[in-house]
Structure 1
Amino acid sequence: MIPFNYDDRLFVSVDHAGDDAPLRGHYHQRGDLVWAEITGGPVRHGSLAGTCDSEGVVRFAYLEVLTDGTIVVGECVSRPERLPDGRIRLREQWRRHGPRPDSGVSVIEEATAALVGSIEEQQRV
């Protein structure tokens, strides 16, 4: 049994949570397969796909088209932790490949119900 279920959860970047259009990912899961659609912030469209281990750690590859037209590809290992209110936080150790290689750590958190409502409202406008 996998201790973390990512299916149909919306995650937002902690670093960009105050932005009008925060970086966000809509996650899906079937067994150990995890995938997501990514939008917001500097990302016009993105996707990720990977697998989840028995500890809930997700290893995936990602592809993003940024708002300036740049295409970014890379890989990431996301380690989960449970927040006091039950939501999931992921610490992501990422590495970008290609002409502008880089690496770092990002933090995303499962969106609160209020933030999900706000994002859905923005999408209707």
Structure 2
Amino acid sequence: MSIHYDGRRFRALGGGDGTYAEYRQHGDLVWAEFEGGHVRRGTVTGTCDAAGVLRLAYTMVLESGEVIAGNSVNTPQWHGGTLVLREVWERHGEHAATGVSYLEEVALESRAS
């Protein structure tokens, strides 16, 4: 099942710190901008395969001024009718780390709450 990400909005599962990403897609090319919470500005760019799996590179600037870069593989899952991305990420550089996060799709009106 292919998923088209254009216009979809995601946040950390359960609300997180208020950071939201809005995705765009053209063919297999996918990109997003995100901000909120401790993130002043961030971007992701990558590709989407036929199963809807995203392979992304990301950069962000935190409120502290720290600049972070890394990559992730996001696998779509459905939970109770909600699209959730299982994000396996790797951060590069001085604060290198790895982990797993979950992003949930949210409706536009949820962004204001």
Task: Provide TM-score, normalisation by structure 2.
Answer: 0.92
SS at match of 2:31: strand
Distance, in Å, in 2 between the alignment partners of 1:112 and 1:51 is 23
Mark the runs of 5 or more structure 2 residues left unpaired by the alignment.
none
Aligned length: 113
Distance, in Å, in 1 between the alignment partners of 2:107 and 2:33 is 18
Structure (1 or 2) with the greater strand fraction: 2
Mark the runs of 5 or more structure 1 residues left unpaired by the alignment.
120-125
The reply on whether 1:40 has 2:39 as its aligned counterpart is no
Corresponding residue number in structure 1 for 2:12: 13
Q: Deviations over 1:64-91 (max 9, x none)?
A: 0000000000000000012333x31101
Task: Provide TM-score, normalisation by structure 1.
Answer: 0.84
Q: Percent identity?
A: 42
- How far the C-alpha of 1:14 sits from its partner, in A, is 1.4
Corresponding residue number in structure 1 for 2:62: 66
Corresponding residue number in structure 1 for 2:20: 24
CA RMSD of aligned residues (A): 1.6
Larger radius of gyration: 1
1:1-125 paired onto structure 2 within 5 Å: 3-14=2-13, 17=15, 19=17, 22-85=18-81, 87-116=82-111, 118=112
SS at match of 1:48: strand
